[in-house]
Structure 1
């Protein structure tokens, strides 16, 4: 019974509120053709730019490969740096051992020098040889001992010389290892900086390409959408949709068929609605796609002076600012200063006067 009453009320309101003002003229075939040509031109532009983007993307891929190479170069230099540090440490260890060997040889040589400064004692082999000249066997024995001592002294001196040569070689190796370590460290840092710079360039170029692609895609979509809307409007007009009513009439009349349905936040039908959900579905009936948000519905077409309102125009409430969220309500004009809208939680779709203190303007969707 409630549905019957709502339908009856809708029929009565459609008859009562239909304005005698002439509807928007339907687009001509020339308008549709021009819109389609514009869409084609934009599509060609997009195609040409897409080819450029493909080339740019190829450069980006190359850059990404170069970044990977530089990063791996950095990793390689870090490995070499660690090896150089190990070689330097090993050289320092060998040098310390060689220094100890030189010190031991130096002590032996110092002992020999000390003995040479103490003079010849009674037990010195050379003195004994002089004393025992009459004893041939003793002389030969002493001579052999003296030769052995001289050989030991020569060996001590030779060992010290060898140790000193080893030390000199190891000092050179340690110095070279340290220099190599420093050079590799610098190359590693340079490779790292180069990789970071390449990554930064890649990010900037990628960001620019993404913005360019999105902009062009939006332009093409807008051109195609306009051409499609004009074509649909012309087709609807030629088909005499809703007894020859204009698109706004169709949208307004459909909205009136939804009277009595509950308001539900963020709902867009078919059983419940919020304000922008109702207006979105009303204009969808004539092939015009608008967002489920008052912020973009406000810019979905030209703004209409309130003294030139036509049925189907969208009426907005709130206050105007740079923030579209300050427009908080929308209804659809049905004629004679009235609108159909989904007011608020706890209410239903109904007809109300448009003359509210927070009325900020009207838009005719396209």
Structure 2
């Protein structure tokens, strides 16, 4: 109990800076049983306070390091998820190409068989019935006209046979080309299938790492909050126990300790959002595309933009889930894809492809429903890893990252690369 009292006292002394001399000056008369700590108690309590403060400082240092890691992982996870979305998008295109190639291969096979049939038909006509033998017999005729007719008919048969062989040869050439194209398309489809699997594994690994750090942050925040609650309770108990001349000082210390404890608890719980909030207060000026029309031609309209925004806002509060496109969970490009689907425009579930399929628009000319893009390298659109939907007044609706929910945020961030209009 005495050691615990020293710890209580040490925390209050540290908070108030109360000296030994002050404690002695506030002592009760000698006839009363002393209820305040002596010099030895104060010295020991200060040592305990130093140990406790060092432990808390070390815990806060670990929390800051974990939060920094989490901030970095947020971007890395976004990049990995969009790489997976891109692989799925490219696999879909490869499957369509292979399907078309198989259809062309079947058509060329049919053409070759038809050409072979034509060759066989010409050969059959040439040697069957009143074919070559009859025409050759005309050469033995004493009638010059008969001889001429025989020569003419043989010439026609020769031309027909030659034409049929030419068509067969051409059909085989086309068939060989299409076979190679089909083989290449199949290889491409298989490669893209492997890439989808690889990017999925990479995204899952990043998400697992992110979840591990999230758990660590939550654990550290909980421990700091518990420590803060203990400090506050100690201060309240100590204030209630003391009724002597230093009671007022101790009540003040308890109140201060409780206030500081609540502040530390609140800061610990909100630390996960502190770095982002600081960036939003002093945003770096993003690269302005000047309203040039690089990219796809806009097919949306203002009415479609309003419908898209209404849909996006209706999803606020729903959880982020990588590779998800609704209706209960979303990732960034899945949310914008579904929103603009409501606005009458079809977009792929891939932020880089959405950039490619929208027309560039100046940040000063944004309207409701325009898409704002964020990249690891603001000079290279292929590094885009996040997209949100503009809703006016410098704000956007976004599905941010694992552990967060669809929300309204400022569009101004240091990795803002530009905007596009569907």
Tell me the TM-score normalised to structure 1 length: 0.51
Cα deviation for residue 157 of structure 1 reads 0.4
Matching of residue 26 in structure 1 with residue 31 in structure 2: no
Shift of 1:90: 0.5
SS in 2 for 1:28: coil
Evaluate the alpha carbon distance shift between residue 107 and residue 39 of structure 1 in structure 2; reply closer, same or farther with a 3 A threshold: same
3-state SS in 2 of match to 1:26: coil
Aligned to 1:106: 116
Q: Take 1:78 and 1:49, find their aligned partners in 2: how far apart are those partners?
A: 42
Provide, for residues 192-240 of structure 1, a one-character-per-residue CA deviation record: whole Å limited to 9, x for no partner: 1221222122112211222123213432553465357546755x41168
Structure 1 runs not aligned, ≥5 long? 1-21, 242-246, 248-282, 291-366
Asked if 2 retains the 8 angstrom alpha-carbon contact of 1:99 and 1:167, the reply is yes
Whether 2:158 is the aligned partner of 1:150: answer yes
Q: What is the aligned partner in structure 2 of residue 9 from structure 1?
A: none
* Aligned equivalent of 1:54, options 45, 64, 68: 64
Q: Which structure's CA Rg is the greater one?
A: 1
Q: Secondary structure at the match of 1:238?
A: coil
Q: Summarize the alignment of residues 160-309 of structure 1 with structure 2, pairs less than 5 Å apart.
A: 160-223=168-231, 226=234, 230=238, 234=242, 236-238=243-245
**CA contact 2:94–2:189 (8 Å) conserved in 1:** yes
What is the Cα-based RMSD across aligned positions, in Å? 3.9
Shift of the 67–123 alpha-carbon distance from structure 1 to 2, 3 Å rule, reads same
Provide the residue aligned with 1:79 in structure 2.
89
Q: Contact between 1:126 and 1:142, CA under 8 Å: does it hold in 2? A: yes
Which deviates more from structure 2 when the two are superposed, residues 207-216 or residues 220-229?
220-229
**1:205 to 1:62, Cα distance in 2 relative to 1, 3 A:** same
Larger RCO, structures 1/2 (Cα 8 Å, 6+ apart)? 1
Unaligned runs of 5+ in 2: 1-30, 259-422
Structure 1 contact 42–220 (Cα < 8 Å) conserved:
no
Query: How many residues are matched?
Result: 225
Q: CA separation in 2, counterparts of 1:207 and 1:34?
A: 36
Residues 141 and 223 of structure 1, relative CA distance in 2, 3 Å threshold: same
TM-score (norm 2): 0.45
CA contact (8 A) 2:101 2:182 kept: yes
